[in-house]
């Protein structure tokens, strides 16, 4: 843009309806040359919004969403965000605004609406609508929306899973300056995602490190942490296990995952109907899910009525049914993780030896403290009392697999679980993938392929609430599988 064009843009921008009120709103919202005052900021933005200024509409929508300066009102917030997001150029001034802020509508407003649908803020969660609004913002050049689309396509939420589309969106966002996308793009290069079945080359690794360094230089804490991992695990070691480094990097940043208790994705009535139907067909997993929901509903109602006894009772039942997906509320974590908890658990397990949940919790406390033998001993004792407990059978195999080096004993333990578990149990695919991981470690290619394919087949039998299925380290297996099968095809052709 030439100097003369810049002066013309500035002149027209200053003539936009309500722009003075917008600038005053910014002053009061941030506290520039005046005392910060959200109420006055809201008044200024509302004046601008009523004059048709979409910037005022956008910021007024944010204030209603956060309850700053006005009473929190999600409906009112969405009203103004939608107006800002759907602004169309109907005049020279509107066209100028579109030129400055997007092709059609305020991109930040479109992104905010998408985030509301993604997180279920003021609206029912709807990943498809989130994708639609992110796409509109991307068309307007908003890099963070492209990064979020990369995440959603990566796991198949709201759109059909596409690694290639995910890679392209990450690249678009990274080139637009989004540091989170730079980290995600680096992961793609490290794993050679987006280019087909081959291992990452030296050029891929160099490109990955380039993007990590760019993100770190811009202050992204995850990028700083990941570069530190590389220094510790790659540059300073003679033995460079690249696959292990990738797994560590994946643990630093994770794409969003669907949650098994997320009824909003289907609508509560559809969700309940689906599980009732699955339960009637004999799914013990669906029956357990319904029982979890029933107890969580009781816990919520008890909480509203300030009935602590009923709340604790119902919440405890829900957690015991499946602690992996219910979890312990964040506000109680400091109590659960305290130093005295292990001693407390040991005493409680002695008092209630028949309680398999407490026994499992104690064994994992041993494991987390590095006491592997104590963890194994505890699980083995518990299995004598509960030989058919799926939870204990899986935990036993999982702990055995963590031994250094793991032995074939863990395979027998996983097989024992698979023999006892229904096919839609959410741990079944993990069992197959952990077996595949073991066979990789001992170089048994055929068994790796067999177990990996069994894991993929098991995923197809999972209830929808557990999909897309998330297993840490699966992406590395995908490329190892592709490499093995490619080599097999090449060898076959050579022999022909």
**What would the DSSP string read from start to end of 326-343?**
H---GGGHHHHTSTTHHH
Residue 102 within a domain? yes
410: in domain: no
Alpha carbons 442 and 46: distance in angstroms, whole number: 67
Q: Does residue 233 belong to any structural domain of this protein?
A: no
Query: Within a 10 A sphere around the Cβ of 28, how many other Cβ atoms?
Result: 21
Which tokens is 144 given?
Answer: 């963070």
Same domain, 137 and 263: no
**H-run or E-run covering 200:** none
209 part of a folded domain: no
* Biggest alpha carbon–alpha carbon distance for the chain: 84
Claim to verify: residue 137 and residue 5 sit in the same structural domain: yes
Print pLDDT tens along the chain (496 aa).
Answer: 456 655 655 555 566 778 889 889 999 998 988 999 999 999 999 999 999 888 899 999 999 999 999 999 999 999 999 999 998 643 334 444 444 454 567 899 999 999 999 888 888 889 999 999 999 999 988 999 999 999 999 888 888 878 888 999 999 999 999 999 999 998 888 775 554 444 567 787 788 889 989 998 888 888 888 787 666 655 544 444 445 545 544 444 444 555 554 544 433 443 455 566 677 778 888 787 788 878 878 887 887 777 878 887 888 788 777 776 676 555 444 444 455 555 666 676 677 767 777 777 777 777 777 788 888 888 888 888 888 888 889 888 988 888 877 788 999 999 999 999 999 898 999 999 999 989 988 889 999 999 999 999 998 888 776 766 778 777 678 777 877 776 443 344 344 4
- CB distance 31 to 39 below 8 Å: no
Q: Are 461 and 278 in contact (CB under 8 A)?
A: no
* Interhelix angle 242-252/474-495, nearest 10 degrees: 140
How many CB atoms are closer than 10 A to CB 372? 15
- Quote the CA–CA distance of 37 and 245 in Å, as a whole number: 48
pLDDT at position 199:
55
Cβ atoms within 10 Å, residue 67: 13
If asked whether residues 1 and 135 sit together in one domain, one would say yes
Distance, C-alpha 388 to centroid of its chain: 33
Query: DSSP strand E in 225-327: where?
Result: none
Residue 322, SS3 per DSSP: coil
Q: Which of 319, 337, 355 is the last residue of a domain?
A: 337
Q: Pick the last residue of a domain from 306, 337, 368.
A: 337
Q: Is residue 304 part of a domain?
A: yes
The phi and psi torsions of 100 (rounded to 5 degrees) equal -75, -35
Q: Is residue 416 part of a domain?
A: no
Length of the chain: 496
- For residue 131, what pLDDT is reported? 95
Residue 466: what pLDDT? 75
Q: How many CB atoms lie within 10 A of CB 441?
A: 12
The rounded distance, in Å, linking the Cα atoms of 188 and 271 is: 34
Domain assignment present for residue 388? The answer is no
Q: Which domain CATH number covers 27?
A: 1.25.40.10
Give residues with Cβ within 8 angstroms of 365, minimum separation 6: 341, 342, 345
Which residue range is the domain that position 314 belongs to? Answer: 258-337
Phi, then psi, of 126 in degrees rounded to 5:
-155, 100
DSSP 218: T
Are 8 and 1 within 8 A, CB to CB? no
d(CA 106, CA 97): 9
Q: Are residues 135 and 269 in the same domain?
A: no
Please check whether residue 191 lies inside any domain of the structure: no
Sign of CA dihedral 289, 293, 298, 299: positive
Together in a domain, 7 and 133: yes
Task: Provide the pLDDT for residue 329.
Answer: 56
| 465, 424 Cβ separation under 8 angstroms | no
Total domains in the chain come to: 2
- Which pLDDT score is estimated for 293? 77
Domain boundary among 320, 337, 354: 337
């Amino acid at each position: 843009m030439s100097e003369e064009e810049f002066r013309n843009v500035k002149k027209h921008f200053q003539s936009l309806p309500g722009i003075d009120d917008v600038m005053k709103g910014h002053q009061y919202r941030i506290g520039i040359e005046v005392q910060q005052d959200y109420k006055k900021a809201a008044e200024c933005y509302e004046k601008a919004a009523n004059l048709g200024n979409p910037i005022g509409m956008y910021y007024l929508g944010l204030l209603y969403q956060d309850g700053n300066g006005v009473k929190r009102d999600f409906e009112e917030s969405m009203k103004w965000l939608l107006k800002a997001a759907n602004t169309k150029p109907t005049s020279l001034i509107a066209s100028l605004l579109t030129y400055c802020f997007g092709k059609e509508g305020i991109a930040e407003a479109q992104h905010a609406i998408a985030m509301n649908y993604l997180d279920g803020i003021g609206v029912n969660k709807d990943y498809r609508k989130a994708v639609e609004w992110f796409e509109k913002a991307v068309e307007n050049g908003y890099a963070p929306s492209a990064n979020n689309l990369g995440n959603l396509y990566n796991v198949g939420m709201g759109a059909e899973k596409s690694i290639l589309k995910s890679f392209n969106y990450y690249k678009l966002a990274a080139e637009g300056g989004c540091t989170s996308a730079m980290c995600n793009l680096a992961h793609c290069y490290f794993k050679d995602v987006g280019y087909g079945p081959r291992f990452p080359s030296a050029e891929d690794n160099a490109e990955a490190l380039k993007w990590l360094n760019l993100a770190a230089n811009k202050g992204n804490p995850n990028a700083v942490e990941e570069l530190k991992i590389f220094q510790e695990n790659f540059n300073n070691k003679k033995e460079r296990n690249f696959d292990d480094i990738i797994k560590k990097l994946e643990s630093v940043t994770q794409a969003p995952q669907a949650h098994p208790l997320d009824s909003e994705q289907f609508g509560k009535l559809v969700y309940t109907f689906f599980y009732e139907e699955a339960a009637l067909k004999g799914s013990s997993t669906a029956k357990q899910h319904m029982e979890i929901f029933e107890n969580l509903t009781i816990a919520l109602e008890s909480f509203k009525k300030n009935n602590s006894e009923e709340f604790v009772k119902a919440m405890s039942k829900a957690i015991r049914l499946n602690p992996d997906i219910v979890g312990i509320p964040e506000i109680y974590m400091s109590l659960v993780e305290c130093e005295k908890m292990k001693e407390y658990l040991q005493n409680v397990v002695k008092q209630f030896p028949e309680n398999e949940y407490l026994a499992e919790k104690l064994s994992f406390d041993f494991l987390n403290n590095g006491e592997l033998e104590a963890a194994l001993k505890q699980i083995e004792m518990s299995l004598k009392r509960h030989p058919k407990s799926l939870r204990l059978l899986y935990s036993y195999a999982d702990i055995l697999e963590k031994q250094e080096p793991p032995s074939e004993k863990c395979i027998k333990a996983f097989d024992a679980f698979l023999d006892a578990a229904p096919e839609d149990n959410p741990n079944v695919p993990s069992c197959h993938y952990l077996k595949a991981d073991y066979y990789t470690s001992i170089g048994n290619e055929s068994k790796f392929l067999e177990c990996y394919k069994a894991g993929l087949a098991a995923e197809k039998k999972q209830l929808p609430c557990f999909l897309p299925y998330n297993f840490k380290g699966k992406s590395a297996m995908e490329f190892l599988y592709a490499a093995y099968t490619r080599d097999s095809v090449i060898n076959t052709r050579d022999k022909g």
